[in-house]
Structures are given as structure tokens and as C-alpha cells.
Amino acid sequence: MTDLIFWVLFGILAGWIVNIATDTQGRQRVLGTLVIGILGAIAGGTLMRLLSERGIAGFSIPSLLTAVCGAIILLTLVQMTDKGK
């Protein structure tokens, strides 16, 4: 349960970082960015848990990088589906 809380907190931070890095501040609302960050971080954390025995947990640089990578992948997928419309 604490892992999920960590990933939500990292997801909020990752969503903010990705929002700034991809310069989508004007095109996307804050809530949408935070949701993408949270979902991306949870997906990244789940994937890391599946790929390694322990996974990545707690407040650390690898956890933050995992969250940011998950958020970037999810944001890219969302943008690709938006362009298809």
C-alpha cells in the first residue's frame, strides 16, 4: 500500500516535470497532466516490479526516473491518439 502512495506522489511530480519538459502547459490542463503523471508512474512502477525481484520503491532517484519515464510514455500515447482524431 505504501508503494502505491509513493508512486502517486512521484506521479504528481513526474507529471509536472513532463509538462514543463514537453512544453504542453498551454495545451493541457493541470489536472490532466497530473493524472497522466500518476498513471504513468504507477504503470512504470508496476513494470519495474515485474522486471525485477524487488522493484523500485521509496523516495529515490531511480523511482523518480521510473515515474518520469512512465509519464513520458503515457503522454506520448495520449498525444498520438489525439492527433489521430
Q: What is the pLDDT of residue 84?
A: 63
Q: Which cell numbers hold the place of 82?
A: 489525439
Q: What is the pLDDT of residue 6?
A: 77
Q: What is the pLDDT of residues 7-53, one digit of tens each?
A: 788 888 888 887 777 665 555 567 777 888 888 888 887 887 788 76
Whether pTM > 0.75 for this model: the answer is no
∠ CA 43-74-45 to the nearest 5 degrees? 20
**CA max distance for the chain:** 40
Q: What is the pLDDT of residue 85?
A: 59
> How far is 7 from 4, CA to CA, in rounded Å?
5
